[in-house]
Homo-oligomer: A and B are copies of this chain.
Amino acid sequence: MLKPSDEKYLRAIYQISQSENTGKSTISELAYYLELKPPTVLERLKILEQEKYITYTKTDGIHLTRSGQKQALNVVRKHRIWETFLHKVCKFSWSEVHELAEQLQTVNSEKLIDRIFMLSGEPKFDPHGDPIPDKSGTLPASERRPLLNSIEGCRCTVLGVNEDSAEFLNYLSELKIGLNEKLVVEKIFAFDGTLKVRFKNAETALLSSKVAEKIMVSCTKPGCLCGK
């Protein structure tokens, strides 16, 4: 049985590997993500390596083994189910659920996860639009891509975000960007990559490339070239 702290590490490694296109993570990234210092992380990685959940070499970085991947997906499942439950059933806001789910995900009962998943209506995606793995670790398909990869004219639906910090999520509220929001990419300013988007209600907003990179969307304009 995994310790709560193992679960944190494996989920973090999984998340970082996902957001990087390299599929790996490094000690300093992990340390930053977990709010720990590099020596602490290194020490722990050695144990996770002994336990065969990861491989680590300086040159190749940190990779999940098959077994580690399976464990990580299970933690991700628990985390996202709790987030969904908190949002749908307990009526917490989009930006409150992550922190609470971090605490709740440590509770050790598959039966409990099953029940709260049922109570939440067994959805495929969490309140941030992230896919919920099934028990075998399979993720439901989606055509998510960063809003940043848009071309002018894209009609997108906001599926989720790639960052969980309250700071970021509150900023999105400020910008009036919410889950399942539809928006049109009206203009892209080549100078710094800023996007001008228009909402359903005809209001517009300017999004920096830093923000647009973290907003995950699917394009709904038929025949759009954004996905190449």
Q: Which residues of A contact B (CB under 8 A)?
A: 86, 89-92, 100, 103-104, 106-109, 111-112, 115-116, 119
Q: Which 7 A-B pairs have the closest CB atoms?
A: A90-B115, A103-B107, A100-B109, A104-B107, A100-B112, A103-B108, A90-B112
Once the chains are docked, how many angstroms separate the CA of A115 from the CA of B100? 13
Copies of this chain, complex-wide, total 2
Give the shortest distance, in Å, between A7 (CB) and chain B (any CB). Answer: 14
Cβ contacts under 8 Å, A116 to chain B = 90
Residue of B nearest to A99 (CB): B109
Cβ contacts under 8 Å, A89 to chain B = 119
Residue of B nearest to A96 (CB): B111
Once the chains are docked, how many angstroms separate the CA of A108 from the CA of B103? 8
Give the shortest distance, in Å, between A22 (CB) and chain B (any CB). Answer: 35
Cβ contacts under 8 Å, A108 to chain B = 103
Once the chains are docked, how many angstroms separate the CA of A89 from the CA of B119? 9
Cβ contacts under 8 Å, A111 to chain B = 92
Once the chains are docked, how many angstroms separate the CA of A106 from the CA of B104? 9
Give the shortest distance, in Å, between A17 (CB) and chain B (any CB). Answer: 28
6 interchain pairs (CB within 8 A)?
Answer: A89-B119, A91-B115, A92-B112, A103-B107, A103-B108, A104-B104
Are B119 and A90 neighbours in the complex by a CB distance under 8 Å? yes
Residue of B nearest to A103 (CB): B107
Cβ contacts under 8 Å, A100 to chain B = 107, 109, 112
Chain B CB within 10 Å — which of A89, A91, A109 has the most? A109
Once the chains are docked, how many angstroms separate the CA of A188 from the CA of B87? 54
Give the shortest distance, in Å, between A75 (CB) and chain B (any CB). Answer: 16
Give the shortest distance, in Å, between A196 (CB) and chain B (any CB). Answer: 37
Cβ contacts under 8 Å, A109 to chain B = 100, 103
Cβ contacts under 8 Å, A106 to chain B = 103
